[in-house]
A and B are shown apart, each in its own frame.
Chain A
Amino acid sequence: MAAGTGSGRTVSATFRPIRGWLLLPSWAIIGFFMVIPVLLMLVYSFLTKEFRGGVIWEPTLAAYDQFLFDRGLFGDEPPTIEWAYITIFIRSILQATGATLLCLLIGFPTAFFIATRPAHTRAIWLFLITIPYWVNLLIRTVSVRFLIRDNGPLNDFLLALGLVDQPLGLINTNFAVQLGLFYSYLPFMVLPIYAAVERYNFAFSEAASDLYAPKWTILRRIVIPVVKPGIIAGCILVFVPSLGAFLAPDLLGGAKTYMIGSLIEEQFKGNAGNWPFGAAASMILLSMVLVVLLFYARGQSREGA
């Protein structure tokens, strides 16, 4: 960092005249792949649905109304709160939270372990963490399915050892989804925490220890506050994709109950063909993610001040 600051001024001076042009690719990519699609979704969520997919260009709040209010099977009863979608959202939030906590529980010690290895072996440990991720997420999720199914190796092993007398029945449960999410996103937790712990100066711990601080206190009062940005970054990186995941619920949960991702997918790809509703659900999901990120940003800036 320090080395870069010195030369920073000259570099920026050199590039100042063309800075706008240099930023152009970034702006183009952000605009084309993020701003335009999100705006499109926003507009679609306020349009009238066309039967069997598509939209009619007449503005309406029907999609958001459908999300919030239940008007009975035939749509003519007085509106009450629609629990179906709220249930799906709550289920997704719980799953994502569970996956995040599980990742943190396993990821933090793992990151700590790697960061405390001799410098020349750290790269190998990190390399080992990333190996499974060379394989496509779909394949890895299917593999988990094969592992935990009733006639799969895990149950065969437990049965052979006599630890259980019938298969655990893990497949097609919320637990299986949880396991899949945890497995899919674990490195997203390990890597940022590792980056934070690696920069941690262990002299602090030694100093605290010399002052008779118990290990738990050192962890709680010194280590965790210092590596907190890494922990928060890891949590966000796990929580956000878990929230919208649909592969794990589909393949490990048996697609029996929807998570937000599967609900949205169904609106565009499945039977329902209700694009405005899918767009509205996406916007609600997006708003939720934004709220989480805003809290994070506020926390960060307060610490900075």
Chain B
Amino acid sequence: MKRLTTTTAILALAAGAAAAEGELRVYHWFEYMPQELVDKFEAETGIDVIIDTYDSNEALLASLKAGTLGSYDVAVPGDYMVAIMAGEGLLDTFEEGELTNKANIEDQWLNAPFDAGRVHSIPYQWGSTSVSVNRDIYTGDTNSLSLIFDPPEELKGRINVLDSQGEVMALASIYLGIPQCSQDRDQLRALDELLQTASAHWASFGSDIAKDVLVSGDAAAGMIYNGFSAKAREEGANVEYIYPDEGYVVWMDNVVLLEQAPNRENAIRFMDFLLQPENIAQVTNYAQYAAGITGAAEFTEEALATSPENNPREGAGPGVFIEVCDQATQEVYDQIWTRLRS
């Protein structure tokens, strides 16, 4: 928020004088881009950057569909949301050779399943979603998603869960060993039952608070993103990020070019800027995830390479992307989700 206001204030001051290079309107997650990097981009290009934030992929989609499409140039949706947004016609396509630094994208991310050939998006950061526990409170040696879905006594009633249906459903499916977006009725019933039972032990739903509740001690365990958990540890909480036996969610956030972008050219310059390893590495150092850009590792802090949050332990289950469900399954998910909260 503070960042937003500073940027706006600077913009207001500069509005009369500068603006020759125009502006760039970024729709972004909370706590996800260091101010120094924004400053650097502004200094290099003379473009004014304006940032608004959202707190879930779904909120981003809802806002764009409710009429903000055309007011932003770029946004940063997660993997499955890139596919959904492309399907909804919300994304513009790069022209051949338009992105000078496109070759810097790591091979493994160049043909991402959610954007084949990278025609709408470039990698921003990637990481995982799993569970963290406070080691002062829970000392057991369970490395299972049962920590939140069938919690031990000391964690009951002290669990925060991300307020993100996609992540909760995916992790619950992984825990049950059923495929994501399963259409099998017995499996869906089992999923419903699991979540109804488990949620009795949950204290809160929240994504932006996920780190804070672990640091403050409001929660003793929580579903969380790996980098966010690393930050919680840095802020003094004795938390351990668990790579579960059953597996975990892997995600990649991507900078996408929005349809009807008012400053398309600046958006391309911004993306080229983020495709430079030394720039994207600044985001990595700030958010503690990983960049999908060749050469970024040279500029990232050494501790990140060996941090427990960034390195799955031996014997952990596989990391999987969240899948996009068809309408019928999604409607069942929506019902389960509402029942969970009623």
Interface SS of chain A: loop
Determine the chain A residues whose CB is within 8 A of the CB of B335 once the complex forms: 73
Q: Which stretch (B61-69, B257-265, B283-291) binds chain A?
A: B61-69
Report the Cα distance A87→B341, complex, angstroms.
10
A84 at the B interface (CB under 8 A): yes
Residue in B closest to A85 when the chains form the complex, CB atoms: B342
Please tell me which one of the listed residues B56, B84, B206, B336 contacts residue A52 in the complex, with CB atoms under 8 A apart: B84
Cβ-defined contact, B206 with A254, below 8 A: yes
> Residue-by-residue, is A64-107 near B (CB-CB < 8 Å gives 1, otherwise 0)?
00000000011100000001110110000000000000000000
Determine the chain B residues whose CB is within 8 A of the CB of A73 once the complex forms: 185, 188-189, 192, 332, 335-336
Q: Total interface residues on B, using CB and 8 Å?
A: 41
A229 at the B interface (CB under 8 A): no
Please tell me which one of the listed residues B165, B204, B332, B342 contacts residue A258 in the complex, with CB atoms under 8 A apart: B342
Determine the chain B residues whose CB is within 8 A of the CB of A16 once the complex forms: none
Report the Cα distance A74→B330, complex, angstroms.
11
Cβ-defined contact, A74 with B338, below 8 A: no
Cβ-defined contact, A269 with B327, below 8 A: no
8 A Cβ contacts from A137-189 to B: 149-151, 171-172
Please tell me which one of the listed residues B205, B330, B331 contacts residue A254 in the complex, with CB atoms under 8 A apart: B205
Q: Which stretch (A108-116, A218-226, A270-278, A287-295) binds chain B?
A: A270-278
Determine the chain B residues whose CB is within 8 A of the CB of A273 once the complex forms: 58, 61-62, 65
A256 at the B interface (CB under 8 A): yes
A32 at the B interface (CB under 8 A): no
Determine the chain B residues whose CB is within 8 A of the CB of A271 once the complex forms: 56, 58, 164-166, 333-334, 337
Most A-side CB within 10 Å, residue of B217, B335, B336: B335
Task: From known contacts A150-B218, A269-B58, A274-B334, infer whether A88 and B204 are also in contact, taking CB-CB under 8 Å.
Answer: no
Task: From known contacts A52-B61, A172-B203, A274-B334, infer whether A268 and B341 are also in contact, taking CB-CB under 8 Å.
Answer: no
Task: From known contacts A52-B84, A53-B61, A73-B192, infer whether A268 and B218 are also in contact, taking CB-CB under 8 Å.
Answer: no
B307 at the A interface (CB under 8 A): no
Determine the chain B residues whose CB is within 8 A of the CB of A254 once the complex forms: 160, 203-206
Interface set of B (CB-CB < 8 Å, partner A):
56, 58-59, 61-63, 65-66, 84, 88, 160, 163-166, 185, 188-189, 192, 199, 202-206, 216-218, 327, 330-339, 341-342
With A52-B84, A149-B217, A150-B217 already in contact, 13 other A-B pairs whose C-beta atoms are closer than 8 Å: A51-B327, A53-B61, A73-B188, A83-B342, A172-B204, A172-B218, A250-B206, A254-B206, A262-B341, A263-B341, A268-B62, A271-B164, A271-B166
**Sample (8) of A-B pairs whose CB atoms are under 8 Å apart:** A73-B335, A84-B342, A149-B216, A171-B218, A172-B218, A263-B341, A271-B337, A273-B61
Interface set of A (CB-CB < 8 Å, partner B):
51-54, 73-75, 83-85, 87-88, 149-151, 171-172, 250, 254-258, 262-263, 266, 268-274
